[in-house]
């Protein structure tokens, strides 16, 4: 179980596919103190990030409105969001986007399809950057 | 694995989204083709296509459908190149991409019927891989007067779109929206603003901007919406929760040479497309709406209980005037709620017919007949459940039209017809609860005599009789079943699909000139006004719409006819306003204990009346019909079940279908 | 790993169903008959907001019809996409059977119930007595084969 300062961990899940968001949430749901907020577009994500505090963002790259890269750029351009962990989850087979995403400021990058364990482990390690505790 | 992830749980959602992307992609590809014919590129459609295929690929990978991943990946690769080449796609590429969409569609449909999913066809993958995409350079000589930070966020295509729009007389504007928690609490968010602006303007791009945080902008964020519009500043300002003064007009200025705009964005970023129409639309699984209806049915039942309890009190001499008013008001509220849910279930018919051009295209190619398709669906809407059931029938009629009805081009030329055949699909709301769908062609018409010869039956006297004949189970009008229409639905099944929905099928054909099939179908099927009645000691309900009249049967006025069909019991005849109406005992039809049947329900099918004798009418009420899907209980004339409040299922009868089954039986016996 | 099975009775014989296929077990208070269906279709019942057809297993297995008793049960099973109720004389017990305990049914188990029994098992009762239970083939009993028309291309 993950505890960040003894409070609930707020995760923003950004993907234009509702099914994909539900799948991501299903994978992460096992940690009881996670709560999830959905955003169906990059714009919606940016708005929520500006108005609300989150502990972590799970972000798709390929979206209508504005894409994931612009969301990363926006996050990294904000003082208060500078340290927000961003897990980019995108469709496999695009090595170029991995280096671009990490270069732009994503904290972690994983490709679909992913296993529940992999995404959960990634999220947990990102929330515990010191790696003090092992699962 | 610390916990299992069951992809099958998401399959239904996957199917819904995949179908949406496929249908949008088909439209986009057809738009690309249309542009191609005008010698233009369509970068916007190409990007949308890329985005859809990319999403389909990712979703398919998650639910483990490798063949779709492979096909979508190959298509995506082509589209990424095309996107980088400013949307350049050749006719050959369009062809290959269409084949790809078809291949994905087939696999999605296989999945939805739990059938095995075929691997990706290697020829298709090869054809996609072999496509060459070349870029044609078009230097930009006009620039927008925007602050550089904003300008840098626009792609060439987006700039061109704004500039062209302005040149064509529309206003190119920048409208800013500043989100805040207070606005979000009122429901004013970038999503709702985008939707409202999208309704009055073409949104080219939305750019997030960091601004100094203030009381008015606690998030330190603003969105700049760059739009093309004819709407007033006042209307736009209201939609974006700002003032008209804040709206900025964008001017184009000529530049001497194209700015070095840098490399086009990689596709992942390049797909940040602004597409306004879909925003603000919630995708809802029909099952959830069904669930809502289910819950609503409980309210409908409560209303009956209340009404019954009030009646009981009244019978004891209690003054129930006020109670009755409340029950009535409650009934109205339930009806309104039902109306809202039903509206949520409606889909535009135009959307349902999205795939038709693609189908016609495919058929046209297989049959080597040039065919033009005209669709006029207007604004009609249809319950999603009805839409899903009727679509296969529409497709079959279109297939028949292209395959059998439209003559080969040489023959058409000889006949003095345009070489290109015409298939027209029209749709309009005939009444508040009925939709008329028409599928016509300008082909050879149906040859009555030829059909009769093949069926070894007498030549039908009119179109109605001809329709009865061609919809007999197992009859094909061609000597050989052809590739395109030999499989799947026969005309008998088209008819069944229409009748199952409580609809009617019609035919008008002129030899040499063409054929029109009309499908009258109900807009919704789930809740109907119904009579409940007792027959053979069992309670049934039947939709009021199907019943012409409830009559008293006067035994002394009945005429006994020779009974040709002992199964139906006695067929008797009664006179009703100068018309002779056959009367059958419903209990005997259903092999139930039959007794006195002093009442009768008069039903009309194809103009011919039939009366079903019943014991007594119980009442009239709104019922929620649940279709009976299980093969164990699929019986002609029984369309579903409902709950009248006693907790037990009550059968819903389709008396018109029953009427049809009986008369068919009779014809067969007579023949 | 032993699996759980629901045991039910018809006449003197004991049958089992995989517990994972069983959605509900309810007492039987009568069903709405559907005219035009085979005699073994007892009719429709409501179970938790669903309308479910019920197969009278006595009639399906060629046994004489009896009046339902307080012991009569409807076992609601999920078979593929379908949800169907099975009306049985009684159903009270859950048992574990190891996979190796299941054997092919003897060939003489034919006649009316041909193919309805998938396998048989000898199990030991609570007081040590030997019992023979038959695992039924649900799909066959509710007539799954050949019912659906394939409309795909």
Integer Cα distance of A31 and B165 in angstroms = 51
More confident call, B621 vs C92: C92
pLDDT of residue B103: 92
Give the single-character DSSP code of B7: G
**Residue A132's pLDDT band (boundaries 50, 70, 90)?**
very low
Nearest to A91 among B5, B61, B221 (CB): B61
Q: Token digits for B268?
A: 């992942």
Integer Cα distance of B516 and B400 in angstroms = 11
- Which residue carries 């023959």 as its tokens? B411
The total number of residues shown for chain C amounts to 153
Integer Cα distance of B570 and B576 in angstroms = 19
Three-state DSSP class for residue C50 = strand
- Which residue carries 């169906």 as its tokens? A40
With 90 as the cut, is the pLDDT of residue A39 above it? Answer: yes
pLDDT of residue B177: 92
User: Which B residues in the span 370-399 are in contact with C, Cβ-Cβ below 8 Å?
Assistant: 392
Distance from CA of C105 to the nearest CA of B (A): 27
Strand residues in B460-566 grouped as ranges (E): 504-510, 514-522, 527-535, 538-543, 547-552, 559-560
- Which residue carries 């007067």 as its tokens? B145
The total number of residues shown for chain B amounts to 671
Are the CB atoms for A88 and A109 separated by under 8 Å?
Answer: yes
Pairwise CB contact (< 8 Å): B633 & C55: no
Integer Cα distance of B15 and B22 in angstroms = 10
Q: Which domain holds residue C24?
A: 3-141
Q: Enumerate the residues of chain B whose CB falls inside 8 A of the CB of residue C31.
A: 649
Max CA-CA distance within chain A?
39
* B393-448 confidence digits (pLDDT tens): 888 899 889 888 899 999 999 999 999 999 999 998 876 667 899 999 999 988 88
Neighbours of chain A (3+ CB pairs under 8 A): B
Question: Has residue C93 been placed in a domain?
Answer: yes
Nearest to A62 among B16, B55, B278 (CB): B55
Integer Cα distance of B630 and B237 in angstroms = 55
Quick check: B489 contacting C, CB < 8 Å? yes
Query: Exposed, middle or buried, B422 (CB in 10 Å: 0-12/13-18/19+)?
Result: middle
C2 phi and psi, to 5 degrees? -70, 145
Question: Has residue C21 been placed in a domain?
Answer: yes
Are the CB atoms for B208 and B147 separated by under 8 Å?
Answer: no
pLDDT of residue C80: 79
* B116-142 confidence digits (pLDDT tens): 888 888 889 888 888 877 655 444 456
pLDDT of residue C48: 60
Integer Cα distance of A61 and A94 in angstroms = 11
* B361-377 confidence digits (pLDDT tens): 878 887 889 999 999 88
Distance from CA of C109 to the nearest CA of B (A): 25
With 50 as the cut, is the pLDDT of residue A135 above it? Answer: no
Quick check: B9 contacting A, CB < 8 Å? yes
Among A14-18, B211-215, B430-434, the minimum mean pLDDT is found in: B430-434
Handedness of CA B315, B321, B322, B325 (dihedral sign): positive
Q: Which is the CATH superfamily of the domain at B527-670? A: CheA-289, Domain 4 (2.40.50.180)
Question: Has residue C41 been placed in a domain?
Answer: yes
Q: Which residue from C152, C136, C4, C149 is spatially nearest to C60, judged by alpha carbons? A: C136
Q: Token digits for B209?
A: 């901007």
With 60 as the cut, is the pLDDT of residue C33 above it? Answer: yes
Chain B and chain A touch, per 3+ beta carbon pairs within 8 A: yes
Q: Token digits for B419?
A: 């070489």
pLDDT of residue B142: 61
pLDDT of residue B92: 86
Q: Enumerate the residues of chain B whose CB falls inside 8 A of the CB of residue C38.
A: 632
**Residue B232's pLDDT band (boundaries 50, 70, 90)?**
confident
Pairwise CB contact (< 8 Å): C46 & B590: no
Integer Cα distance of B560 and B126 in angstroms = 74
Fold (CATH) for B7-129: 1.20.120
pLDDT of residue A94: 60
Nearest to B61 among A62, A65, A92 (CB): A92
Nearest to C152 among B110, B591, B592 (CB): B110
Handedness of CA B398, B399, B400, B403 (dihedral sign): positive
Three-state DSSP class for residue C35 = coil
Q: Enumerate the residues of chain A whose CB falls inside 8 A of the CB of residue B221.
A: 46-47, 50-51
Averaged confidence pLDDT in chain B: 79
- Which residue carries 């007539």 as its tokens? C143
User: For B379-395, what is the mean pLDDT?
Assistant: 81
Pairwise CB contact (< 8 Å): A94 & B268: yes
Pairwise CB contact (< 8 Å): C34 & B489: no
Strands B514-522 and B434-441, bridge-based pairing:
antiparallel
From residue B480, how far is each of B403, B477, B485, B512 by CA, in Å? 12, 9, 10, 22
pLDDT of residue B639: 84
pLDDT of residue A56: 94
What is the number of other CB atoms lying within 10 angstroms of the CB of residue B348? Answer: 16
Q: Which residue from B621, B664, B656 is spatially nearest to B638, judged by alpha carbons? A: B656
Total domains in chain C come to 1
Give the single-character DSSP code of C63: P
* C95-143 confidence digits (pLDDT tens): 888 888 888 887 665 544 567 888 888 887 667 778 889 999 888 888 8
**Residue A44's pLDDT band (boundaries 50, 70, 90)?**
very high
| pLDDT more than 70, % of chain A | 84
Three-state DSSP class for residue B298 = helix
User: For B203-224, what is the mean pLDDT?
Assistant: 86
- Which residue carries 């077990």 as its tokens? C25
Q: Of all residues in chain C, what percent are helix, strand and coil, respectively (each to 5)? A: 10, 50, 40
Are the CB atoms for B255 and B151 separated by under 8 Å?
Answer: no
Handedness of CA B489, B491, B494, B495 (dihedral sign): negative
More confident call, B409 vs B264: B409
H helices within B250-285, ranges in order? 267-270
Q: Enumerate the residues of chain A whose CB falls inside 8 A of the CB of residue B54.
A: 62, 91
Distance from CA of C50 to the nearest CA of B (A): 9
Question: Has residue C84 been placed in a domain?
Answer: yes
Fold match between B7-129 and B527-670?
Answer: no
With 60 as the cut, is the pLDDT of residue B245 above it? Answer: yes
Nearest to B272 among A66, A78, A91 (CB): A66
**Residue B266's pLDDT band (boundaries 50, 70, 90)?**
very low
Quick check: B8 contacting A, CB < 8 Å? no
What is the number of other CB atoms lying within 10 angstroms of the CB of residue A6? Answer: 6
Reduced 3-state DSSP string for B602-617: EEEECCEEEEEEECEE
Nearest to B633 among C46, C53, C80 (CB): C53
- Which residue carries 């017809």 as its tokens? B417
Domain ranges within chain B, ordered by starting residue? 7-129, 142-270, 294-342, 347-522, 527-670
Integer Cα distance of A50 and A61 in angstroms = 19
With 70 as the cut, is the pLDDT of residue B562 above it? Answer: no
* A81-113 confidence digits (pLDDT tens): 878 899 999 875 565 677 777 777 788 888 887
CB pairs under 8 A between A and B: 143
Q: How far from each other are the two terminal CA atoms of chain C, in whole angstroms?
A: 42
Query: Exposed, middle or buried, B344 (CB in 10 Å: 0-12/13-18/19+)?
Result: middle
pLDDT of residue B148: 75
What is the number of other CB atoms lying within 10 angstroms of the CB of residue A69? Answer: 25
Pairwise CB contact (< 8 Å): A93 & B194: no
Integer Cα distance of B570 and B587 in angstroms = 11
Number of continuous H segments (helices) and E segments (strands) in chain B: 22, 25
Pairwise CB contact (< 8 Å): C53 & B487: no
How large is the ipTM? 0.86
Q: Token digits for C74?
A: 């409807």
Go through the domains of chain A in sequence order and give each one's CATH number. 9-93+105-114 (3.40.50.2300)
Integer Cα distance of B173 and A84 in angstroms = 34
* B282-332 confidence digits (pLDDT tens): 656 666 776 677 677 667 767 767 877 888 888 888 888 888 888 888 888
User: For A67-77, what is the mean pLDDT?
Assistant: 86
- Which residue carries 């197992």 as its tokens? B474
pLDDT of residue C32: 94
Handedness of CA B108, B110, B115, B119 (dihedral sign): negative
Integer Cα distance of A54 and A37 in angstroms = 9
Are the CB atoms for C44 and C54 separated by under 8 Å?
Answer: yes
**Residue C25's pLDDT band (boundaries 50, 70, 90)?**
confident
How far from the centroid of its chain's Cα atoms is residue C76's Cα?
Answer: 9
Side-chain-facing half-sphere of B590: CA atoms under 13 Å: 27
pLDDT of residue B137: 46
Integer Cα distance of B453 and B471 in angstroms = 15
User: For B245-255, what is the mean pLDDT?
Assistant: 76
Integer Cα distance of C83 and B447 in angstroms = 46
Are the CB atoms for A61 and B268 separated by under 8 Å?
Answer: yes
Write the CATH number for C46. 2.40.50.180
Q: Enumerate the residues of chain B whose CB falls inside 8 A of the CB of residue C141.
A: none
Fold (CATH) for B347-522: Heat Shock Protein 90 (3.30.565)
pLDDT of residue B413: 93
Are the CB atoms for C56 and C68 separated by under 8 Å?
Answer: no
Are the CB atoms for B163 and B151 separated by under 8 Å?
Answer: no
More confident call, B411 vs C2: B411
User: For B339-354, what is the mean pLDDT?
Assistant: 80
Are the CB atoms for B109 and B223 separated by under 8 Å?
Answer: no
Pairwise CB contact (< 8 Å): B1 & A77: no
**Residue B604's pLDDT band (boundaries 50, 70, 90)?**
confident
pLDDT of residue B112: 83
Nearest to B633 among C44, C80, C148 (CB): C44
Among A44-58, B116-130, B175-189, B461-475, the minimum mean pLDDT is found in: B461-475
Query: Exposed, middle or buried, B508 (CB in 10 Å: 0-12/13-18/19+)?
Result: middle
């Amino acid at each position: 179980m993950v505890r960040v300062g003894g409070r609930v961990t707020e995760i923003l899940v950004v993907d234009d596919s509702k099914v994909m968001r539900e799948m991501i949430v299903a994978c992460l749901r096992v940690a009881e103190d996670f709560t999830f907020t959905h955003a169906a577009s990059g714009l919606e994500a940016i708005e929520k990030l500006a108005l609300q505090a989150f502990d972590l963002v799970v972000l798709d790259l390929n979206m209508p409105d504005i894409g994931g890269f612009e969301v990363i750029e926006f996050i990294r351009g904000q003082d208060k969001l500078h340290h927000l962990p961003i897990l980019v989850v995108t469709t496999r087979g695009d090595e170029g986007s991995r280096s671009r995403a990490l270069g732009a400021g994503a904290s972690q990058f994983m490709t679909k399809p992913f296993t529940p364990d992999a995404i959960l482990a990634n999220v947990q390690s990102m929330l515990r950057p010191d790696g003090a505790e092992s699962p | 694995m610390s916990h299992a992830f069951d992809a099958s749980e998401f399959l239904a959602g996957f199917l819904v989204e995949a179908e949406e992307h496929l249908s949008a992609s088909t439209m986009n590809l057809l738009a690309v083709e249309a542009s191609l014919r005008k010698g233009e590129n369509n970068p916007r459609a190409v990007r949308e296509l890329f985005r859809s295929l990319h999403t389909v690929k990712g979703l398919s990978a998650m639910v483990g459908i490798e063949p779709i991943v492979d096909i979508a990946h190959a298509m995506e690769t082509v589209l990424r190149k095309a996107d980088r080449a400013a949307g350049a796609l050749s006719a050959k590429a369009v062809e290959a991409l269409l084949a790809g969409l078809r291949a994905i569609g087939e696999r999605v449909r296989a999945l939805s019927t739990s059938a095995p999913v075929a691997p990706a066809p290697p020829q298709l993958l090869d054809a996609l891989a072999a496509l060459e995409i070349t870029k044609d350079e078009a230097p930009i000589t006009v620039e927008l007067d925007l602050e550089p930070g904003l300008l840098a966020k626009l792609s060439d295509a987006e700039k061109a779109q704004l500039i062209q729009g302005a040149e064509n007389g529309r206003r190119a504007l920048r409208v800013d929206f500043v989100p805040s928690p207070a606005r979000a609490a009122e429901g004013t968010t970038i999503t709702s603003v985008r939707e409202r602006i999208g309704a009055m303007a073409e949104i080219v791009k939305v750019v997030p901007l960091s601004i100094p945080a203030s009381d008015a902008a606690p998030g330190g964020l603003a969105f700049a919406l760059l739009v093309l519009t004819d709407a007033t500043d006042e209307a736009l300002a209201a939609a974006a929760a700002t003032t008209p003064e804040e709206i900025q007009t964008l001017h184009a200025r000529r530049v001497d040479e194209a700015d070095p705009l840098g490399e086009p964005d990689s596709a992942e970023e390049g797909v940040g497309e602004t597409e306004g129409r879909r925003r603000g639309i919630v995708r809802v699984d029909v099952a959830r709406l069904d669930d809502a209806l289910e819950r609503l049915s409980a309210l409908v039942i409560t209303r009956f209980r209340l009404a019954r309890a009030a009646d009981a009190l009244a019978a004891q001499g209690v003054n129930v005037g006020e109670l009755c008013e409340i029950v009535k008001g409650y009934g109205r509220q339930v009806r309104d709620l039902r109306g809202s849910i039903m509206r949520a279930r409606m889909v535009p018919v135009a959307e349902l017919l999205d795939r038709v051009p693609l189908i016609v295209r495919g058929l046209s190619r297989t049959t080597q007949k040039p065919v033009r398709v005209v669709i006029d669906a207007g604004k009609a809407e249809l319950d999603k459940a009805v839409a899903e059931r009727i679509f296969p029938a529409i497709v079959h009629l279109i297939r028949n039209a292209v395959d059998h009805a439209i003559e080969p081009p040489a023959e058409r030329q000889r006949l003095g017809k345009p070489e290109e055949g015409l298939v027209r699909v029209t749709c309009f709301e005939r009444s508040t609860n009925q939709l008329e769908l028409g599928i016509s062609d300008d082909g050879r018409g149906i040859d009555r005599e030829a059909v009769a010869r093949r069926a070894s039956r007498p030549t039908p006297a009119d179109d109605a009789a001809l329709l009865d004949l061609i919809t007999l189970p197992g009859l094909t009008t061609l000597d050989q079943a052809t590739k395109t229409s030999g499989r799947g639905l026969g005309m008998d099944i088209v008819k069944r699909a229409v009748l199952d929905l409580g609809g009617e099928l019609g035919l008008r054909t002129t030899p040499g000139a063409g054929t029109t099939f009309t499908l009258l179908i109900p807009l919704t099927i789930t809740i109907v006004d119904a009579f409940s009645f007792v027959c053979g000691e069992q309670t049934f309900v039947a939709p009021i719409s199907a019943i012409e009249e409830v009559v008293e049967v006067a035994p002394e006025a009945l005429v006994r006819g020779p009974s040709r069909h002992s199964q139906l019991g006695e067929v008797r005849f009664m006179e009703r306003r100068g018309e002779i109406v056959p009367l059958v005992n419903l209990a005997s039809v259903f092999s139930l204990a039959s007794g006195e049947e002093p009442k009768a329900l008069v039903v009309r099918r194809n103009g011919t009346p039939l009366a079903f004798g019943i014991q007594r009418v119980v009442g009239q009420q709104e019922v929620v019909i649940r279709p009976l899907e299980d093969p164990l209980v699929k019986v002609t004339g029984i369309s579903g079940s409902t709950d009248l409040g006693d907790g037990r299922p009550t059968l819903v009868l389709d008396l018109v279908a029953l009427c049809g089954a009986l008369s068919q039986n009779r014809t067969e016996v007579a023949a | 790993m032993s699996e759980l099975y629901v045991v039910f009775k018809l006449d003197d014989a004991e049958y089992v169903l995989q517990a994972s296929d069983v959605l509900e077990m309810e007492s039987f208070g009568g069903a709405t008959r559907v005219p035009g269906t085979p005699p073994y279709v007892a009719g429709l019942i409501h179970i938790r907001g669903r309308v479910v057809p019920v197969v009278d297993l006595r009639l399906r297995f060629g046994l004489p019809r009896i009046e339902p008793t307080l012991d009569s049960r409807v076992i609601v099973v999920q078979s593929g996409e379908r949800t169907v109720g099975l009306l049985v004389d009684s159903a009270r017990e859950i048992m574990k059977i190891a996979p190796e305990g299941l054997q092919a049914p003897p060939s003489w188990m034919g006649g009316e119930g041909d193919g309805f029994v998938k396998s048989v098992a000898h199990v030991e009762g609570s007081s040590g007595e030997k019992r023979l239970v038959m695992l039924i083939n649900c799909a066959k009993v509710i007539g799954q084969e050949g019912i659906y028309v394939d409309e795909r291309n």
